Structure 1
Amino acid sequence: MWVCKVLKWVGLSGVIMILGGPFCHVRAANEIETITVTGSRIKRSVQSDSASPITSVNANMLSDIGANDMRDLIEILPFNTGAQNNSDNLSQNYTVGTSNVNLRGLGVSSTLVLLNGRRQVTSSVVTDQGASFVDTASLIPSLAVRRVEILRDGASAIYGSDAVAGVVNFISRDDLIGSELQYEYRKRVSEGSQDETKIDFAYGADLGESGYVLFASSFLDRTSLLLEEVDWAQPAFSSFGNPGSFVIPSLASPQNPQGLTVADEHCAQNGGVVSQGSNNNTFCLFDFAPQITVVPDEQRLQLFVKAEWTWTETAKLWFEAGYADNHISREVSPSFPVLNAPTVLASHPDNTFSEDIFFRGRPYGWGKPTEQNFYEHQTKRFALGIEGEANQDTYWQITYVNAVNDALLNPRDVIADNFQLALLGFGGINCDSAQGPGVDSCIYFNPFDPLDPNNERLRGFIIGDYIGNLESKLQVIEGHISFAEIFELGDDYVDLAIGAQYRKESIVQQYDALTQQDRFAFLIGNQNVAGSREVSAIFAEARVPISSIFELGLAARYEDYGSLGGDTTNPKISMLWRVTKSLSMRSSYSTSFRAPSVHQLKGVQTNFANITDPTDGSTTFGGNRTVGDDSLVPETSTALNFGTSFSSETMSLDVDYWRFTFDDVLTRESHQAVVNAMPNDPSRVVRTSAGTISVVNTKFINAQAIETSGVDLVGMYNVKTRYGRFIPEVSAAYLLSYDLTDDVGNTSDGLGKLNRNTVGNPAPRLKGSVGVRWINEAHQINAFLRHVASYENDVSGQKIDSFTTFDTHYSLHMGELLKPDTQSTLTIGILNITDESPPYVDIAGSYDPRTGDPRGRRAYIKFKVGF
């Protein structure tokens, strides 16, 4: 049974929750109030009435596992697979500084994220695959979190779109009376110098019968980590370097119709690596791995306030407001590749080929300082509502949410036409072309000598700012009413909840003139976009007690998207069987959906991608431009869950079998698949005059299907001895299947694979942790062994090793030792004690950022004082 256990430890205030079981809302000894459980609109006296698989983590457990922020919690959840929480330059072009959730590996858009049961605005930036998501890094300061509930089941019948794989609900505190201040410092204890400082503050006041107020703030200062600082990174070569390569038209052949590519003759002595390609082409390779930022520099501020006022004896008003501002910078290569193959005339003073040639490379490479890219993410949100009881058996609520997420994008890139002018001898801000090439203030860029001082003089002319201002808005009006005991059925009563929701979603993306004109040599550019849609919904839910030990749950929701997405109806049926006082069994079946995002319907997205050209075998980065399609249809899914729970005074064990069938998956076409299938189609693969790939044109599509199944295991055992209390625990998810079908009907088995060029996500068979807690009066030690099973790189066929880390933490609850009327706690810990490197993957960056953790061994100290 999903029995809600509250374990009161000697010397500890609050409660410690069993990971895997729901959380009882405790106000005082022996008092349990009716509450709303994630996944239901019906209030219940205890959460053991829930027939859905729920994992709940309270504030104490967030501290026990060594979580610095929500990203750390998400990463260790065994049910999360493929979330994008590492700042990878190559797969997170514009989402750096954000974090998200990916339950069951069904996509970051397929998990609904709530705050206090209410929807959140999606980030104005999308993933490289065009997926929208809620930025969990912007939700709520850590000290304001009371618990996090994870519903591991489809829930569109209750919450609507996006709840395909489940729901993550962040619930704020309402139990803090007084103030808490927490300081934490953590540092990478390995090669490299990455560290972070975090200061949190929270204040809560009980206004008596008038209400309650909570204020919380958090500031994080994090320094960066580059791959040049670690010892596990392997070279990541680009065939566009400096020293570069040159395409010689006079050496054209049927195999090389634009000309033969030859590496700079001084390639090796100037830091490059000569590589032999197909058809006698040679390339001067540039290793950009050292400049890849795996932890960005961040300064993040979060504010949150919540207030409740008693309006009448049966109703109360409440208000919430939140603000988050994150400034990020990260280092990248000295300059990005120039993809348009600019011309170097025979008249160039340093051209020894005696003919016009094409340059294949970048203006700044070996021996030059890294470039800095800047980003800012800002979220503003407020919500208000009124709720109350019409009588003892009727509860009602009306809410309004208004939220905005803004992003500023400021990467820096080569201005293509300016670089071409510099190669022609007309470089420089003050150049007057009438003076002639290389005369007076007109300067030649020398692509044959990376140490030429004129090249550095031209940096301000060649490199420009790509500026994007993006905005995503959400407005939600929702009301529902819950009736308890509407009529008698046997020895119990039927409960019912009904409601309606209206929401409006919109995006605006505006870019500077250079960006709109596609004038950048690598990032290309982007176009202004604006779009919006309105959604209306009605829903109902009922709890039907068939007998004293068997319960049936019924729910349904209808949503209407108008002309953008159509409409859909989704049901859910669940069953709960209380076999004995200690044993229960549950099952559920539901259909869910996710409508295309406004971005996927109306947006335009240009980013860069690693592209292999099948015509010559060369690999480089190129532009990938994806356009929206307003004929897209919603993703649909079915979810099936069977579970059992056993609970006693000393033990809790939960086992669930689950299966999701996911159809019409919304994704972006694979750029590599387009290149492989249509390498010479100019409408899909745009090439330069030298024959190199400049841009791949893709579109958002409804791919075919993902079908996945597995087993969850969550358990703990509570042992009380004369030496203290020992609590062994386990939490794991084991995948049984992960079958993928692409947009043309090809099926593949993605189980235990990276799924690099598919609609899927990395799918290791096993992910989980085992741990033990020891508590003895004021002392507590926690130790956890975390494991991700090995899997396969489906592109290269190479094995990706398993990733096993060991964490430990010690806490001393000092009580009033420092000062009367204060409660102080000191915690020290080490994460990844053995300094395990992320498993090697044969991709740029040397690891899988959606599964591995590049941060290495980290030590931290945390001091918390309540007063």
Structure 2
Amino acid sequence: MSKELMKLRRSALMGSAATLLASFALGAGVTGASAQDADSDFDMDLEEVTVTGSRIVRRDLTAPSPISTVGAEEFQLTGAQNVEQVLATLPQTIPGFGGSSNNPGDGTATVDLRGLGSFRTLVLVNGRRYLQSRQSGTVDLNTIPSTLIERVEVVTGGASAVYGSDAMSGVVNFVMKDDYEGLEVSGQYDTTVHGDAEKYNIDATMGGNFADGRGNATLFVNYAKRKSLMQGDRKFSTYALGEGGDPDRLPGEAYGAGTGLGGFGSSGIPGTRTFTRPTVNPGTAGEYLLGRFNSDGSGAPYSAASDSFNYAPDNFLQLPQERWMASAMAHYQINDSVRMYTEATFVSNKVPQELAPTPAFTTVEINPDSPFFTADVQEAWRSLRTLDPNDPNSGWEDENVFAFVGRRMVENGPRQALDTRDAFRILVGFDGEIGDGWSYDVSYSYARVDNFQFLKNDVSASRFVQAIAVTDDGTACQDPSGGCVPLNIFGAGNISQEAVDFVNISATNVTQIETQNIQGIVSGTLGDWTGAGEVGLAIGVEYRKDESAFTPDTFLASGDVLGFNAGEPTVGGFDTYEVFAEMALPLITGAPMAENLEASLAARYADYSTAGSVWSYAGGLTWAPVADISLRAQYQRAVRAPNVLELFQGNANGFPGASDPCSDATASPSATLISLCEATGVPAGQTGNFTQANGQIEGIFGGNPDLFEESADTYTFGAVITPEAIPGFTMTVDYYDITIDDAISTLGGGVNNILDICYNTVQDLNSIYCQAVTRRLDGNVDTVFAGNANIGQIKTSGVDLQMSYGMDVDFGFFEGGSSIDFNFVGTHVINNEVTPDLFVGTVNDCEGTYGNTCGEPDPQYRFNLRTTMTNGPLQLSLNWRWLDSVEDDQIKNAGLTRADLPVPTLKAENYFDLSFTYDVNENLQMYGGARNIFNNKPTFVGDSQEQANTFPETYDAIGTRVFLGARVRF
């Protein structure tokens, strides 16, 4: 299962963020400012602005929903080469794909508000839709230049009524610099204290006015390179750890010792494991069940603890990347009423992935008389021949036998994938004043992404099976067609280069995505209806057309692959016509206990060619009883129509972590469970007695054209406090509650959930969940069908707390004293649960947990505190990020106790980052810093990990990084 689908089962507010505004800022570069009315001590005119979350342009905007802003300086203070490095630490997000997402991963970087899935988060640039990088409609953050960002505005709690259905969990809007004058060149180098995993970044921004200041053009170019780091380059991730693994197969410092973990891995081994196990040397002292093969063709029993293959070193811990980017923006004031603007972006992004050599798990035909085996192993195989040895006409002596095997194709080399995404977007628009306080904005955009995925060192399933069935002398294939070369998989190192060349295949997959968007908005005021201020109104229409096609390689489409996930074509599209309106209605101002009272309303009607007509609407209220305090509340009804991938995805396989309730993972199985397991394919007497072959179980995933829209009810209540008695202090606190009904996800919420519901809950062979499970002859699960479906319900609730305070002090390194700013962002997740099927009633409780059911860690408490001192040309900043401990989700959801698990809890983590900027002169600035300065290593995770023995996008598995950069301005 993809990481995005896994994340459907959790919702959270991730703790961290630097220089977040306590509520939101009205303008760039403002930190610690409140989104309330401008501070009454300020005697200044506020510019008319449109802040994300509303289409209405007016002054003193007060937001009914939580909005946070990240200033441009945050990207510099963190040394972020890619924007997801900052967004992944925001309190409203859970980490999506990033630079350590090797498996799962697809070369993109995403943002996931509230942990509800990146496909429910709408990413905008300058308030408009941007490049889609997947058929799910998500945006690859690699396509957004961090240097060009003026600020990032984050609206959470749903915004479908204002922006469209895919804004169900909220909006992330990147406001870019579009009025630049001069030339700025910057460069940055980033490495670890080990001197590896380097990153390089070079930017150039240039711009200027023309036509006597009526126009401006800005051009930005970027080159970024990120070098690879393998899991084998860190002791932490050198060995794939598992529960009950061999403690002797560990790094030199005995990582994992004492926790019940040891070196584990895959049952697909270089010597070949056979799951069909004849008895060797029966009736003698040397009798054993055949489990694996030595290089000389002799056999041996198999031990999961000592014989499993350590696949970890061949995986990336940091994915390499090479990116070229160019962006141009221009605007020109044609006359007093018409301004033309345009944006153009081109990105070429290459991100490789690398996995261990192909694990070939399949049923093969074996010639027992093959010289690949020693005599005793030949006799063992012959015992499986099924024809009558007493009938000379039966051909018994020449009969092949069938066996299910697992072979790690190390001779074929590691599996490699290269994702190349070439993308461009062009937008043209006109805006201006109509008169009497009314304005308009009309725009058209076209975007296209071409994703070429090149796969190397896979193995053809048909050729693999063909080449194993050899003649009695082992010199030829029984079926010599196609230039077949005998393949001796029985023992490590026995495969010839000629055999490798015969079974090796490469593949090329192509995905093309096109999006067109036309939008027109008129906004203005309707007059003062109540004596409290002008009534604001925005009305708009929108047309959007999404088309995409995934064309897999012939081998992948046919399923004739053993190493990469097979997949069928995905072709489809939809268009939608939408009408929306928004109103801001001032009710009271300047009255006792009502310094300000304002209502807001929004609604959107959309007619989809696939889902039909849907409505989204919202209503909110802001009330400031006194100037120092403002209260806000909002209800939103958000509706999301299924996207192209959810509707039309061709069946594809994946390998998520899952536990088989019929294996020895379940002690003392009940009679009902035994009966059900045997009815679904477990051999008699083996329920609870056999060891699950692998921690990952193959799932079959695919689209469903019968999906219908999902809906969400969102409630938010909050307060903004700016006490006059404490100048420079602001605080916001917000409660959120989100319930998604008919949520679009995989059947039952995924492979692990399907197995749990089938065998532990419904226990009905005829249920859709049990019918989704197929098993091999040895009892192990073969596949689980987990196609898309409208599942039961997702619920999440919590509280966000943000505080900022600034003060001046007399000390510093330079004359003139210093200013010190504190910015705190914290969150408490109260509830995070998924009900895969309302009729079944199983509830997965995910707050404060991690694991195969809930996915990425979801700490109940986390916070981020940044302290920044500015003294003359020098700025120093310390960021402290704290993540609460989390427990294995099997404790809450599977009835296990802490004593049942070797790693029941991942400890709380503290990360400290230190950075500086120094203005050498008016033209040159130096900056740098270190992240994770105390080199914290995460707690080891066993079977419930994501990758690299941990969750590498949540916990730092690479170690302390240092960066240094310079910026030159002309």
**TM-score, L = length of structure 1:** 0.88
Instruction: State the match for 2:640 in structure 1.
Output: 594
1:20-99 map, 5 Å: 21=35, 32-47=46-61, 49-92=62-105, 95=106, 97-99=107-109
Aligned pair in 2 of structure 1 residues 748, 209: CA closer, same or farther (>3 Å)? Answer: same
Compare CA radii of gyration and give the structure with the larger one. Answer: 2
Alignment pair present for 1:330 and 2:353 = yes
Cα 1:520–1:36 shift into 2, 3 Å:
same
Alignment match of 2:912 (pick from 776, 800, 806): 806
Alignment match, 2:926: 826
Task: Give the deviation of 1:204 after TM superposition.
Answer: 2.0
1:488 corresponds to? 529
Aligned to 1:579: 625
1:108 maps to what in 2? 118
TM alignment of 1:764-783, pairs within 5 A: 764-783=859-878
Q: Which consecutive unaligned segments of at least 5 residues does structure 1 have?
A: 8-13, 126-130, 253-259, 278-282, 817-822
The residue number in structure 1 matching 2:959 is 856
Name the residue aligned to 1:256. Answer: none
CA–CA distance in 2 between the matches of 1:746 and 1:20? 43
User: 1:704 is matched by which residue type in structure 2?
Assistant: G
- Per the alignment, residue 195 of structure 1 pairs with 198
Kindly provide the amino acid, as one letter, of the partner of residue 562 in structure 2.
A
Q: Is the 8 A contact 2:570 2:650 kept in 1?
A: yes
3-state SS of paired residue (1:540): strand
Aligned equivalents of 2:443, 2:857: Cα separation in 1 = 38
Q: Which moved more, 1:261-270 or 1:739-748?
A: 261-270
* Deviation, structure 1 residue 694: 4.5
Does the 8 A contact of 2:131 with 2:424 survive in 1?
no
Could you say what secondary structure the match of 2:153 adopts? strand
The equivalences for 1:510-589 within 5 A come to: 510-523=551-564, 525-548=566-589, 549-562=596-609, 564-589=610-635
Q: Deviations over 1:451-503 (max 9, x none)?
A: 23x43443222221132101222111111100224453224221111111111
SS in 2 for 1:193: coil
Deviation at 1:267, TM superposition (A): 8.9
Residues 283-321 of structure 1, C-alpha deviation per residue, up to 9 Å, x if partnerless?
941111222212111101121111101122111111111
Aligned equivalent of 2:216 = 212
The one of 627, 643, 650 equivalent to 2:702 is 627
Residue type at the aligned position of 2:873: A
Which has the higher mean CA deviation after the structures are superposed, 605-614 or 747-756? 605-614
Q: Which amino acid aligns with 1:602?
A: F
1:608-687 equivalent positions in 2, closer than 5 A? 608-609=654-655, 610-613=657-660, 614=662, 615=682, 616-620=690-694, 621=696, 623-647=698-722, 648=724, 649-669=727-747, 670-675=750-755, 684-686=772-774
Write out per-residue CA displacement over residues 515-571 of structure 1, whole angstroms, 9 at most, x where no aligned residue.
222110243522222111111111111111111111111111111113x21222121
Which amino acid counterpart does residue 116 of structure 2 have in structure 1? Answer: L
Are residues 617 and 850 of structure 1, via their aligned partners in 2, closer, same or farther at CA, if it must alter by over 3 Å? farther
Per-residue CA deviation, residues 211-257 of structure 1 (Å, 9 max, x unaligned), is 111111211111111111112224251111112212446559xxxxx
Is the contact made by 2:24 and 2:67 (CA closer than 8 Å) also made in structure 1? no
**Aligned position for 1:750:** 846
**1: CA distance between counterparts of 2:614 and 2:363?**
49
**SS of residue paired to 2:467:** helix
Change (3 A) 1:230 1:475: same
Distance 2:90 2:290 in 1: 50
Say yes or no: does 1:787 pair with 2:882: yes
* 8 Å Cα contact 2:48-2:59 kept in structure 1: yes
The alignment status of 1:302 with 2:325, answered yes or no, reads yes
CA distance in 2, matches of 1:20, 1:197: 36
1:18 aligns with 2:32: yes
Same amino acid, percent of matched pairs: 25
Counterpart in the other structure of 2:789: 701
Aligned to 1:737: 831
Question: Counterparts in 2 of 1:346-425, with a 5 A limit?
Answer: 346-352=368-374, 353-354=377-378, 355=381, 356=401, 358=403, 360-365=405-410, 370-412=414-456, 413-425=458-470
Unpaired stretches in structure 2, ≥5 consecutive residues: 1-20, 242-264, 281-287, 382-400, 590-595, 663-681, 683-689, 760-764, 812-817, 892-897, 899-903
Structure 1 residue 687, shift from structure 2 partner: 5.1
Summarize deviations over 1:347-398 as a string: whole Å, max 9, x none: 3221232223525222424x98534322112221111111111014001111
CA RMSD of aligned residues (A): 3.1
SS in 2 for 1:815: coil
Question: Residue type of the partner of 1:378?
Answer: D
Cα contact 1:339–1:522 (8 A) shared by 2: no
TM-aligned CA distance change 1:74 to 1:23, over 3 Å: farther
Distance (Å, rounded) in 2 between the aligned partners of 1:643 and 1:593? 23
Structure 2 contact 179–216 (Cα < 8 Å) conserved? no
Show the counterpart of 1:181. 185
Q: Which has the higher strand share?
A: 1
Shift of residue 757, structure 1, vs aligned partner: 2.1
Kindly provide the amino acid, as one letter, of the partner of residue 751 in structure 1.
Answer: E
Deviations 1:649-698 (A, max 9, x none): 41121111111112111111312344566699997445567766544322
User: Is contact 1:243–1:284 with CA below 8 Å preserved after alignment?
Assistant: no
Per the normalisation by structure 2, the TM-score is: 0.79
Structure 1 residues 773 and 436 mapped into 2: Cα distance closer, same or farther (>3 Å)? closer
Q: Which residue in 1 is equivalent to 2:365? A: 343
- Separation in 2, partners of 1:808, 1:573: 42
Please give the alpha-carbon distance, in whole angstroms, between the structure 2 residues aligned to 1:231 and 1:424.
Answer: 41
1:865 maps to 2:910:
no
The answer to whether the 8 A contact 1:183-1:864 is kept is yes
Matches of 1:697 and 1:766, distance apart in 2: 36
SS across alignment from 2:93: coil
* Aligned-partner Cα distance in 1 for 2:885–2:297: 40
Contact 1:84 / 1:849 at 8 angstroms: preserved in 2? no
Among candidates 152, 161, 166, match of residue 162 of structure 1:
166
Residues in 1 aligned to 2:757 and 2:25: alpha-carbon distance in whole angstroms: 57
SS in 2 for 1:362: strand
SS at match of 1:631: coil
Q: Measure the CA separation in 1 of the matches of 2:93 and 2:757.
A: 33
- CA offsets per residue over residues 762-794 of structure 1, 9 Å max, x none? 421122211210000001100011111111121
Q: How does 1:454-493 map to 2 (within 5 A)?
A: 454-493=495-534
Q: Taking structure 1 as reference, are residues 285 and 343 closer, same or farther at Cα in structure 2, changes over 3 Å only?
A: farther
- Which deviates the most, 144-153 or 680-689? 680-689
Q: Map Cα deviations across residues 121-179 of structure 1 (whole Å, 9 max, x no partner).
A: 43236xxxxx65221221x2122111100012211111111111111001111342111
Give 1:4 deviation, angstroms.
Answer: 6.9
User: Equivalent residue of 2:466, what SS?
Assistant: helix
**Structure 1: how far apart are the matches of 2:481 and 2:171?**
63
Corresponding position: 1:226 with 2:220: no
Structure 2 CA distance, aligned partners of 1:273 and 1:667? 41
